[in-house]
Amino acid sequence: MIVNQVTITPQRKQALDFSQPYTFSAAQLIQRVDDKREFNSLAEFSGDKKIGVTLGTNYDQMARAVSGINVQTYPGAPEKLRDLSAGRIDATLDDRLMLPYIIKTSKLPLRAGAVLKGAEQEMGIPFRKGNPEFEKAINDALNAMKQDGTLKKISMHWFGSDVTQAVAQ
């Protein structure tokens, strides 16, 4: 079995069943190091400001749901981060769990911006609908890993923080 971090959404729940959530995240902004503005909501990007997102992601949909925002889409992180660094956009919107990695590997003068309130996400393990025995087995395994500390240990190793708990606002 291969497991990937998949956000549990109402749309995805129509097509798939999910385990209980095992990681928690939220949308977070990336800004230039020299940009001293502190954005705290997507609504602050209305008007002449531009926000970059990766095409087809949850963050693309999230940004487009707020009227008046100029959303620039990109095929991937490298392109939007280069535009951010060059000043062609004001910020990018990404998963807070990925920010340390994205910023470090980009080698660009970027910094983490605000974690957006109301943009919390739960991640679970997706699987084919209608298999309660499989769901129970997955949830039992996740519960055992929580109880013995394995999930937290994995979280600390890969993310540097405990992502098995809901995001504190």
Give the residue extent of every domain in the chain.
1-169
* Tokens (6 digits) for 6: 């998949």
Strands 23-32 and 110-124: antiparallel
Q: How many CB atoms lie within 10 A of CB 41?
A: 14
What is the C-alpha separation between 91 and 62, in angstroms, rounded?
A: 14
Phi, psi angle pair for 100, to nearest 5°: -55, -40
Mind listing the pLDDT tens digit for each residue in 8-61? 989 899 999 999 999 998 889 999 999 999 998 999 998 889 999 999 888 999
Say which CATH topology domain 1-169 has. Answer: D-Maltodextrin-Binding Protein; domain 2 (3.40.190)
- In this prediction the pTM is 0.78
